[in-house]
Structure 1
Amino acid sequence: MNENSNSILNTEIHNAFEIIQNGGIILYPTDTIWGIGCDATNPEAVAKIYKLKQRNDSQTMICLMNGEKMMYNVFKDIPAVAWEILDLSEKPTTLILDNARNIAPNIIGIDKTLGVRIVKEPFCFKLMERMKKPLVSTSANISGMFTPKSFKEISPEIINGVDYVVNLHRDKICDKPSTIIKLTNDCQVKIIRK
């Protein structure tokens, strides 16, 4: 990464952090698709995303995390197989795990589960490093509408409904959603999406 692109990345991280710290929501590129996000520990910010997406809050959203420490802050018990799956995965993988804690209650499923994905993508990773908290991630669309594969496919309603639009990767095509695997503490594994 050259000095100029590093400077742009740091500026975008700073701008997004300021918005998130004040309870705002952002539109940002993830390791898979463009997402709408906020501080995953802030129920008011999470509620803003549900409202923008016109989504029932019983349909949960996932959290991005930047590593093991953050995972153990949210889950007291993580099945060993979770780490094996993450180590062996060749593409971004979302795990649905039991008994989330230290997170906004309106993002936890009625069955006490939470979908999480560890990301290495520099913007998301460094933003969470600065936040010291997980980041909500949900597709940048109104609930029930198609998932945009690039920034130019995102509806004006979404773009105008967030507090900040991250100015990175606007020309990237994102057509590979994550694999989703549900793991229970009693070691049951269920593939939800390959």
Structure 2
Amino acid sequence: MSDDIVTRAARAIRRGEAVVYPTETVYGMGADATNPEAVERVFEIKGRSRDKPLSAGFPDVDAALDYVVASDREEAFMRRFLPGPVTVVVERRESLPDVLVGGRDRVGVRIPDHDLSCRLFREAGTPVTATSANRSGTGSITHPDQLSEEIREQVAVVVDGGETPGTESTVVDPGEGIVHRRGAMADEIAAWLDEH
């Protein structure tokens, strides 16, 4: 995979466009998570209800902490399980817009254990929406060949990282000790929450 496609995708994100990128779970749809118009575009492309929040992707935990407020417990959880197939729900700072989270005060943080996506987030230099690259109500995409024409036509760049495993991330609020969706590493996560 040439750096060129990742660089092109990062530039597109900075311009307010949407891109498709691989993760260690499924393919994601990325746009500048701090730009309300760009976030709105992702909802439109996916046909997703505005009251279903989007997560934000970051290259590492330190980058995420610039945009969220985490308690000691939440930060300890993030440092234990990220990068990895886990979406960690924590309080957002005002730099993440209302439209991203349907006006809620918490946001899902995603740091994929995947070189291409983390390089994309780093090069974009901004939080990037982390939501599956499919129309709402249809199955997640594990290979770019599965992208619908409708989505392909509306995104600026598709970063092809080959086949992805297809396991959904586990969604967890470590502050509240709640697992919202069981996915990868769910048992390990539940054990950590019980211990801490």
TM-score normalised to structure 2 length: 0.83
Aligned partner of 1:40 in structure 2 is 33
Q: What per-residue deviation string (whole Å, max 9, x for no partner) do you get for residues 134-191 of structure 1?
A: 111111111112222322222111112212112x223x133111111024xxx32100
The code of the aligned residue for 1:51 comes to E
In 1: Cα distance, 2:164 partner to 2:124 partner: 27
Does 2:118 correspond to 1:130? no
Unaligned runs of 5+ in 1: none
Q: What per-residue deviation string (whole Å, max 9, x for no partner) do you get for residues 104-148 of structure 1?
A: 321024331111112342222222222221111111111112222
Aligned partner of 2:138 in structure 1 is 145
In 2: Cα distance, 1:165 partner to 1:148 partner: 12
- Equivalent residue pairs, number: 181
Does 2:44 correspond to 1:51? yes
Shift of 1:98: 1.9
The code of the aligned residue for 2:47 comes to Q
In 2: Cα distance, 1:99 partner to 1:136 partner: 14
Does 2:11 correspond to 1:11? no
The 8 Å contact of residues 73 and 102 in structure 1, kept in 2 or not, is answered as no
Q: CA RMSD in A?
A: 1.9
Does 2:92 correspond to 1:104? no
The code of the aligned residue for 2:145 comes to K
Aligned partner of 2:112 in structure 1 is 119
Moved beyond 4 Å, runs of 4+: none
In 1: Cα distance, 2:164 partner to 2:59 partner: 23
In 2: Cα distance, 1:144 partner to 1:70 partner: 31
Aligned partner of 1:64 in structure 2 is 57
Aligned partner of 2:21 in structure 1 is 28
TM-score normalised to structure 1 length: 0.84
Unaligned runs of 5+ in 2: 183-196
The code of the aligned residue for 1:92 comes to P
